[in-house]
Amino acid sequence: MHSSLHSAAIAGAGALPVEVQVDLSLGLPGFHLVGLPDLACNDARVRVLTAIRNSGYQLPQKKITVNLAPGDLPKHGSGFDLAIALGVLGASGVLPPEQPPSALAVGELTLSGNVLPVRGVLPIALEARRLGFTTLIVPEDNACEGALVQGLRVHGARSLAEAAEVWCGTSSSRPAVPSASEATPSPLDLTEVRGQQTAKWALEIAAAGGHNALFIGPPGAGKTMLARRLPGLLPAMSFEEAVEATSIWSVAGRLKANAGLLTARPFRAPHHTISVAGLIGGGSPLRPGEISLAHRGVLFLDELPEFGRAALEALRQPLEDGEVSLVRARDRASMPARFMLLGAMNPCPCGHAADGVPGRCRCTLPAQESYRRRISGPILDRFDLHVEVRQLSSADLLASPEGESSAAVRARVERARGIQRERFRGLAGVYCNAQLGGRSLRRLCDATREATAKLGELIDGMKLSARAHDRILKLARTIADLQGAGPVTDEHVGEAAALRALDRPVAEAPPARESALVIARKVAARKSPGASPGEVPREGA
């Protein structure tokens, strides 16, 4: 006898349909599995037969042949066990051999017949709905995840017997419902960061426009504290963004049992010893890397010069395209990677080159130059903001925490993002200023003649690249949005250029320091209209 049903295989960050074809024929009893299975998938021969026997079913002594079609698609993992077992039961006459209308099954079986959770149920459910399936049978621990997809009846099964009842239509269980997802505020607040007014202003700009930022300063100045508080400044994810991020985490096997949608934007901070495959993605089968796990969120690279050069250079294409294309000898996949990049580094190997204390930094000039050259120019060019985080003074360290809370800053960020969404209403896939490019950048930035002239002076005077020109213009647009969506003026361009001018060593950039203090005065004046124009916020020694 013959039976067939449907399952699905993980492919990159998505899923592809797989037809499970089972045939029972006369001949020497055995179990033959074909269709390009890997070792874990091929072991289904033992798991399936033992699970069927321990579940109380009797099989005839016949030759069992299982084909996973299409045959040229590699099949990875143990997620086909449940579909194979149901197909074998159908072909043997224990279950109705005909396939239920529009049903799909995934799950791993234990030898006792229980169903274990598998990764990638959410993208499988999305693919099932796209293909017109109406019923999905999954492990009980994955049921809430699959139920996130509307228009699909998702049944969670604890055992092969329960799955068989659902398959036959005799089960009394109701379809699963998605878990309630409530956004929880970040426990990290911006008020905990003492001083660093310019760095906080730069962080607000980065959050408002989705810009990449690099913090440069000595150890203990607050670079990591600032970076870890960025997710609390970002707007909440939309439903579509949450589904995208949750799908990637599901494929990577990072979701907890009975978990709902991810509500907080991802924040990934890999160690600097990470490999290229760990950062970009890879392995066999291909799995998402840190840049994909940070999709719609933040990727923070602390101690940036300590990362391997190959790993850093591999970030070039994903930062521009918002996705990473992985090609291996027998596999290929494209995975989304639209993230904000934050970096932190010291000005020299010891970190004290910019302290201003004679003799404290003992790094030789060749050592400092070698340290800075660990980061290539093209990677530095992809950071929109180069922010100096200066050493704190005793007054800042001993003072009580003060300043605006993350909630207050997030309110301004959300207003600026709302302005940008309205501006980009006709552009597909663009939701913040950092994603602008080409004709849309010139058309939508709305710069005055004075701003255009100022930008031209900067290009000629600083020998800026075309990418640097675009990023300064986008930064200026974000600064203008934070102030109410007026046209980009020469003042906005000047602030944007000052916040990007620290691509030189901190110890050798006094003009940029002066510009940063000017920005700090302006920020203080905007937030405290009664403050004296000459009053400079405490920035540290």
DSSP state for residue 112 in the 8-state scheme = T
Residues of the chain with CATH 3.30.230.10: 2-168
Q: Give the whole-number percent of the chain exceeding pLDDT 90.
A: 50
Determine the pLDDT at residue 523. 52
Residues of the chain with CATH 3.40.50.300: 190-527
Dihedral over Cα of 378, 384, 386, 392: its sign? negative
Question: Which pTM does this prediction carry?
Answer: 0.86
Determine the pLDDT at residue 527. 53
Q: Over 80: is that where the pLDDT of 182 sits?
A: no
For residue 16, the surrounding DSSP H or E stretch is: strand 14-25
- The mean pLDDT of 39-48, rounded to a whole number, is 94
Helices (H), 388-445: 394-398, 406-423, 439-445
Determine the pLDDT at residue 97. 64
HSE (side-chain half, CA atoms, 13 Å) at 91: 26
pLDDT band at 533 (very low <50, low <70, confident <90, very high): very low
Determine the pLDDT at residue 505. 38
Q: What confidence tens digit (pLDDT) does each residue in 245-266 have?
A: 999 999 998 988 777 788 889 9
The b/e string for 222-235 (b: 16+ C-beta within 10 A; e otherwise) is bbbbbbbbbbbbbb
On whether the CB atoms of residues 103 and 128 are closer than 8 A, the answer is no
Helix axes 121-130, 239-251, angle to 10 degrees: 120
Q: Over 50: is that where the pLDDT of 427 sits?
A: yes
- The mean pLDDT of 439-461, rounded to a whole number, is 84
Q: Over 50: is that where the pLDDT of 531 sits?
A: no
Determine the pLDDT at residue 130. 94
Q: Over 90: is that where the pLDDT of 358 sits?
A: no
Q: What confidence tens digit (pLDDT) does each residue in 99-155 have?
A: 566 889 999 999 999 999 999 999 999 999 999 999 999 999 999 999 999 999 999
On whether the CB atoms of residues 505 and 511 are closer than 8 A, the answer is no
Of 85-99, 174-188, 321-335, minimum mean pLDDT range: 174-188
CA–CA distance, 211 with 315 (Å, rounded to integer): 15
Q: In the block, which residue shows the tokens 């037969």? A: 49
- The mean pLDDT of 484-511, rounded to a whole number, is 69
pLDDT band at 456 (very low <50, low <70, confident <90, very high): confident
Per CATH, the number for 2-168 is 3.30.230.10
On whether the CB atoms of residues 214 and 345 are closer than 8 A, the answer is yes
Q: In the block, which residue shows the tokens 């066999």? A: 284
Determine the pLDDT at residue 512. 37
Q: Radius of gyration over alpha carbons of the chain, in Å?
A: 28
Q: What confidence tens digit (pLDDT) does each residue in 143-164 have?
A: 999 999 999 999 999 999 999 9
Q: In the block, which residue shows the tokens 């310019």? A: 198
Q: Over 50: is that where the pLDDT of 51 sits?
A: yes
Residue 408: which of 541, 526, 315 has the closest Cα? 526
Q: Over 60: is that where the pLDDT of 241 sits?
A: yes
For 104, the token pair is 């799909």
Q: Over 50: is that where the pLDDT of 517 sits?
A: no
Determine the pLDDT at residue 285. 85
CA–CA distance, 101 with 98 (Å, rounded to integer): 9
Determine the pLDDT at residue 197. 82
Determine the pLDDT at residue 169. 83
Cα torsion 222, 225, 226, 229 to 10°: value is -170
On whether the CB atoms of residues 180 and 297 are closer than 8 A, the answer is no
- Judged on CB neighbours under 10 Å (0-12, 13-18, 19+), 177 is exposed
Determine the pLDDT at residue 98. 61
Residue 413's region, left for phi above 0, alpha for psi from -120 to 50, else beta, is alpha
- The mean pLDDT of 486-496, rounded to a whole number, is 89
Average pLDDT of the chain? 86
CA–CA distance, 89 with 163 (Å, rounded to integer): 11
Q: Over 90: is that where the pLDDT of 502 sits?
A: no
Q: What one-letter code names the amino acid at 471? A: R
Of 22-31, 359-368, 519-528, minimum mean pLDDT range: 519-528
- Judged on CB neighbours under 10 Å (0-12, 13-18, 19+), 245 is buried
Q: Please report the DSSP string for 201-230 in residue order.
A: HHHHHHHHHT--EEEE--TTSSHHHHHHTS
Q: In the block, which residue shows the tokens 């099932």? A: 128
pLDDT band at 530 (very low <50, low <70, confident <90, very high): very low
For 252, the token pair is 């990577």
Q: What confidence tens digit (pLDDT) does each residue in 384-426 have?
A: 999 988 888 777 777 776 778 899 999 999 999 999 998 888 7
Q: If you classify domain 190-527 with CATH, what class do you get? A: alpha beta
DSSP β-ladder status, 287-288 and 2-11: unpaired
* Long-range contacts, stretch 95-100, CB < 8 angstroms, 24+ apart: 95/164, 95/167, 95/168, 96/168, 97/1, 97/2, 97/3, 98/3, 99/3, 99/4, 99/5, 99/6, 100/135, 100/167, 100/168, 100/169
Strand partners, 146: none
The widest CA-to-CA distance across the chain, in whole angstroms, is 95
CA–CA distance, 482 with 49 (Å, rounded to integer): 64
